[in-house]
Structure 1
Amino acid sequence: MKQKRQKSLGLPGYFALSAAIGLGTGTFAHAQDTDPNTAVAERGHYLAIAADCAACHTAPGSSKAFAGGYGIASPLGSIYSTNITPSKEYGIGNYTEKEFAHALREGIRRDGAHLYPAMPYTSYTKLTDDDIHALYVYFMTSVKPVESSPQKTELPFPYNIRASMAIWNALFLDDTRFKPDPSKSVEVNRGHYLSYALAHCDTCHTPRNAMMAEKGSSPLAGASLSSWYAPNVTSDPVSGIGGWSNDDLFRYLKTGDVPGKAQAGGPMAEAIEHSFQYLSDADIRAMVAYIKQVPAISDSKDKAPRESYGKISDRESVYRALPASRISRGEYLFSGECAACHRPTGQGSPDGYYPQLFHNTALGAPIADNLITTILMGVRREVNGHTTYMPGFGPGSYVDSLSDQDIADISNYVEQRFGNPNVKVTPDDVKLIRSGGPKPLIAQLGAFTVPAMIGAALILAVAILFFIRLSRKAKA
């Protein structure tokens, strides 16, 4: 689990503004007597919050906002965020606005080196010119320079060859700006812009191909995210969130907690803690309006909505009547490690601080990745000044006491008792999640990756030349 980060630059004061993102029009609710540059910087600050910049560019536990050093887990290795303060030596202080836009939209630094798409330039490429300008003014005038260099990213060969990203970008980067859909409402278009260009929801929730590029044919249909799994959030009533009400989804984005449905953990908890909880209600409603009309994508593995599985348990009385030898190992471990908070009945605490286990998407999913990861890494999120916390039971966590077999046994017990009984967890499943989750083909190919990308780029170039020649012959 990523550790809790410090809030930056007096954020609540800015969030008190009822800001509106202008979708390229540059509109921003602000007093008329405010200095224009200040108004632009404040608007840029709000945009930076919507884009969740501080979450990745502020190291865990650091008070140095945007100074970088946060390790972003990827199948290729840890990618450390850079210093994006206006420091001229260590940050972006020497960037022109054009160079700033180049980095955000195309993933290319001022020195010409390529960024890895852990920085979601594949989504930021849709940002409008007005919003790029506001962000630039904010970072250059309102962020305090930090004169320090964060830890450098050192991926193994061949992924350390940044120039190879030029081939990847040529194959997969859609370098186009956001265009409102005239057939949709203003609210839906605004929600689309917020969800994609700024909040980059697609980078987590859209499945990826063998080369780790998003599958445009399956937007928001769910994807592995290192050890976590970002679920299907299309409008499908079984595989997605089609059965959620608008209020359910609004509450989830604002708080990360919808009793009887879901609780946010991992990267989603961070997005809520550092970004969504501070957005205006109108902007969250716009995101809800957009997400609720995303075309449904179903998965045959899903037999019922994730939140529909399970029921309250009557096993509390059994614990008192039976000796430990008559209780399964999974139930025995659950009673010792989990029941104190979640109760033997699975009801959680009366105040809802510890959630119920039945009717819980983490246990109703067709795969147990999020259940296993929650046990290993725990959960922590801070919303509206209140911290929700569950300790992890994996390496380096508060409680490092459970083996792969232990976690598999607990997972199987709670799945059978409170969740999806069709899910079976093995120690190998737990070992895979401990190691960082499923590896895409690009990570498995290792040294063959760059030659394969070069070959694909050459084939693409030959095909383009072929069609150009055909076109010229046809015109002749």
Structure 2
Amino acid sequence: MRHCWIFYAVGLIAASVQAADPEMIARGAYLAKVADCESCHTAGSGHAPFSGGLPINSPFGVIYSTNITPDPTTGIGQYSYEEFSRAVREGVAKGGKRLYPAMPYPSFAATQDRDIQALYAYFMEGVKPVHHIPPQTELPFPFNQRWTLRFWAMIFATQKPYEPRADRDERWNRGAYLVQALGHCGACHTPRGLAYQEKAYSEWSPDYLSGSVIENWSTADLTGNPASGLGRWSEAEISTFLETGHSRLGIAFGSMVTVIENSLQHLLKEDLDAIAHYLKSLPAGRKGRSYYQPLTTQNELILTGLETGVDKFEHPGAGVYAGFCAKCHEDNGMGRLPRISRLSGNSMVLSENPVSIIRQVLEGGKGPLTKKGPKPKKMPGFAKKLSDREIADVLTFVRNSWGNTAPPVIPREVSIVRKEMLQE
């Protein structure tokens, strides 16, 4: 009789432990791609996914990402759904520890309940537990006083779960939800205030997605500005860029390469199109730089400053461009699409802040490697070959040729970026 009660009790326990719905786990896996969880919570190649330890540079010091595998002692294996939801949407870990807003919980707060449930199912049932203790984040005083983040969150992290706008169609609302919530695009593309808060969380503000500076990269203006933004991009071009990192108006570089490789290229076509549809609806934010398209009789962009041997070296930076850049980007700045970016009309070339193009010239890089995109071509770095003055001159030349019109780059700007890169 005693054994029967034991078997009965075991049966009750087994019945109470129900595996998550496979469809929900799969949905959670997809949403984890949308949120790009792997990029921040994986220390790099050779490290287990989601096991944490990636160093994230912030104005206050280095913040290390946490282990979000279901390991019961070093990860989130003992989190209840309510604790998981609070960590993701409110920035409060199990036990009440406040998370730094390097974790984009102000954006994740807009995530709807059903998606949080799917993410919880995936991280508890679909992710392999990894026993790993990442390095501890140790910021200097007063930034190590995490209790103060409670008041920061009360003032700035005010998002609620996304509610569709009745005056917009279903595709627009889907795109807005993906961008504002799990996609957390504003975390990088919206300028920050004095308290390091995002100045806006939705399209109701002209600051939203108007570009920012993160880790010595200037992020793109995603509003409708015709020069530095998406004003000249079609919805189809935006969608293709998100999937492949390549378009006729630019190629992804810097931290956006990782976002496309680990996240965006895996999204459904209808979601990419929805994001493009939403972004294309945004009016121009802050005042952008200008671009005009000069034409020849063949309706092609003409050469500015390099047309003749007489003019070739009259423009500061033109000689440097001819010697180091024209071989790949062409004399007329049109590049060799889709592998080599055009510079004429390039949105990042016309960006208000030139830090990204300065950094690109200094250290080089290559575009993303994706399933549907071309094989990326590596651009060499010129930090050891060109002086601050030469880089400033050539970028000023590029920013004011082939229809581009943008402020000059000064040597001091190049010097600052060069020094900050050495400190990373």
Report the equivalent of 1:365.
351
Structure 1 residue corresponding to 2:209, chosen from 213, 220, 223: 220
Report the equivalent of 2:61.
77
Report the equivalent of 2:13.
none
Report the equivalent of 1:444.
none
Relative to structure 1, the CA distance from residue 85 to residue 400 in structure 2 (aligned partners, 3 Å threshold; closer, same or farther) is farther
- Aligned positions of 1:98-137 closer than 5 A: 98-137=82-121
What is the CA–CA distance in structure 1 between the aligned matches of 2:51 and 2:124, rounded to whole Å? Answer: 14
Report the equivalent of 1:453.
none
Q: CA deviation at 1:370?
A: 2.3
Report the equivalent of 1:234.
223
SS across alignment from 1:152: coil
Q: TM-score, normalised by structure 1?
A: 0.74
**Partner amino acid for 1:74?**
S
Matched, 1:255 2:239: no
Relative to structure 1, the CA distance from residue 388 to residue 74 in structure 2 (aligned partners, 3 Å threshold; closer, same or farther) is farther
- Aligned positions of 1:30-429 closer than 5 A: 37-216=21-200, 217=205, 218-237=207-226, 240-259=229-248, 261-294=249-282, 296-300=283-287, 302-305=288-291, 311-313=301-303, 330-349=317-336, 352-380=338-366, 381-384=368-371, 386-391=374-379, 393=381, 400-418=384-402, 420-429=404-413
**Partner amino acid for 1:372?**
I
**C-alpha contact 1:191 1:290 (8 A) present in aligned 2:** yes
SS across alignment from 1:362: coil
Q: CA deviation at 1:329?
A: 6.9
Unaligned 5+ runs, structure 2: 1-18, 296-300
Q: CA deviation at 1:41?
A: 0.7
What is the CA–CA distance in structure 1 between the aligned matches of 2:401 and 2:231, rounded to whole Å? Answer: 26
SS across alignment from 2:115: helix
Relative to structure 1, the CA distance from residue 38 to residue 369 in structure 2 (aligned partners, 3 Å threshold; closer, same or farther) is same
What is the CA–CA distance in structure 2 between the aligned matches of 1:160 and 1:403, rounded to whole Å? Answer: 39
What is the CA–CA distance in structure 2 between the aligned matches of 1:112 and 1:96, rounded to whole Å? Answer: 14
**Partner amino acid for 1:281?**
K
Relative to structure 1, the CA distance from residue 74 to residue 435 in structure 2 (aligned partners, 3 Å threshold; closer, same or farther) is farther
SS across alignment from 2:349: helix
Relative to structure 1, the CA distance from residue 144 to residue 421 in structure 2 (aligned partners, 3 Å threshold; closer, same or farther) is same
SS across alignment from 1:73: strand
SS across alignment from 2:61: coil
Report the equivalent of 1:473.
none
What is the CA–CA distance in structure 2 between the aligned matches of 1:313 and 1:371, rounded to whole Å? Answer: 21
**C-alpha contact 2:229 2:347 (8 A) present in aligned 1:** no
Render the CA deviation track for 1:232-264: whole Å, top value 9, x for unaligned.
3224546642332211211121122111x2222
Q: CA deviation at 1:418?
A: 4.3
Q: CA deviation at 1:279?
A: 0.6
Relative to structure 1, the CA distance from residue 204 to residue 106 in structure 2 (aligned partners, 3 Å threshold; closer, same or farther) is same
**Partner amino acid for 2:215?**
S
**Partner amino acid for 1:174?**
T
What is the CA–CA distance in structure 2 between the aligned matches of 1:424 and 1:137, rounded to whole Å? Answer: 52
> Which one has the bigger helix percentage?
1
Q: CA deviation at 1:106?
A: 0.8
Q: CA deviation at 1:425?
A: 1.1
**Partner amino acid for 2:114?**
D
Q: CA deviation at 1:124?
A: 0.6
What is the CA–CA distance in structure 2 between the aligned matches of 1:112 and 1:433, rounded to whole Å? Answer: 38
Q: CA deviation at 1:145?
A: 1.7
What is the CA–CA distance in structure 1 between the aligned matches of 2:135 and 2:294, rounded to whole Å? Answer: 44
Render the CA deviation track for 1:428-476: whole Å, top value 9, x for unaligned.
1123334559xxxxxxxxxxxxxxxxxxxxxxxxxxxxxxxxxxxxxxx
Render the CA deviation track for 1:165-213: whole Å, top value 9, x for unaligned.
1121121111421111122212111111111111111112222221111
Identity %: 36
SS across alignment from 1:163: helix
What is the CA–CA distance in structure 2 between the aligned matches of 1:401 and 1:83, rounded to whole Å? Answer: 41
Greater CA drift, 206-215 or 358-367: 358-367
Q: CA deviation at 1:317?
A: 7.9
What is the CA–CA distance in structure 1 between the aligned matches of 2:380 and 2:92, rounded to whole Å? Answer: 37
SS across alignment from 1:78: strand
Report the equivalent of 1:466.
none
**Partner amino acid for 1:271?**
V
